[in-house]
Chains A and B, each alone.
Chain A
Amino acid sequence: MIKSELVQKLAEDNPHLFTRDIERIVATVFDEISTALANGDRVELRGFGAFSVKHREARIGRNPRTGEAVAIEEKWTPFFKAGKEMRERLNKPQNENVISIKSQG
């Protein structure tokens, strides 16, 4: 599913709203999450998961091909951890068939 399909699905479920409003709502939600992370804040959406920002110290890396040492700047990486309910939903018993078929194929 891509963003436009998400918007389309929400528009179908909410016929009283204009599609452009739905687009705005979806954009607002993800902008809000992005902005919070850019401020170094956490975002916790119970049941779905939590976003946080991890700090990586500057380090001396190595070009694996040439073996040359390269300075790598410190950086910040967004990190997502699925919530308990989401993890359980992904591993519900009725999904077992899907897994076994896939892993055999």
Chain B
Amino acid sequence: MSGKTLTRADLTEAVYRNVGLSRNESAELVETILETMAGKLETGETVKLSSFGTFSVREKNQRIGRNPKTGEEVPIKPRRVLTFRPSHVLKDQINDSMRANSGKAAD
């Protein structure tokens, strides 16, 4: 485990290296992918990416929450939450790799 964080810049770089678009255009494409997905999710539509996972929007009903500090009851309004269900392919890929590496230098 290297403890790194991948960002848009890394995705842009990968697209730039793999596809041969300019860096600018690669960055735009990465952004368009995310924006297209976000736009669909915003309308409540599910986004399914085979071998990666499924993003879906769930409707939560109103419930009574509690301020953990004061113990005060506060109503939590009905809201929509975004959930991600990883595919088996992704889960297996992560487990195979983490298992293979966990024997080596743990950091």
Q: Which of B47, B51, B97 contacts A6 (CB 8 A)?
A: B47
A103–B59 CB distance below 8 A: yes
Say whether, besides A29-B14, A48-B38, A99-B80, A38 and B29 are in contact (CB < 8 Å).
no
Interface size on B, residues (CB 8 A): 58
Q: Is A62 an interface residue (CB 8 A)?
A: no
**B47 cross-chain contacts in A, Cβ below 8 A:** 1-2, 6
Interface size on A, residues (CB 8 A): 56
B93–A34 CB distance below 8 A: yes
B29–A10 CB distance below 8 A: yes
Which chain B residues have a beta carbon within 8 Å of chain A's beta carbons?
1-8, 10-11, 14-15, 18-19, 21, 26, 29-30, 32-34, 36-38, 40-42, 44-53, 55, 57, 59, 61, 78-84, 86, 90-91, 93-98, 101
Say whether, besides A29-B15, A53-B98, A90-B80, A1 and B45 are in contact (CB < 8 Å).
yes
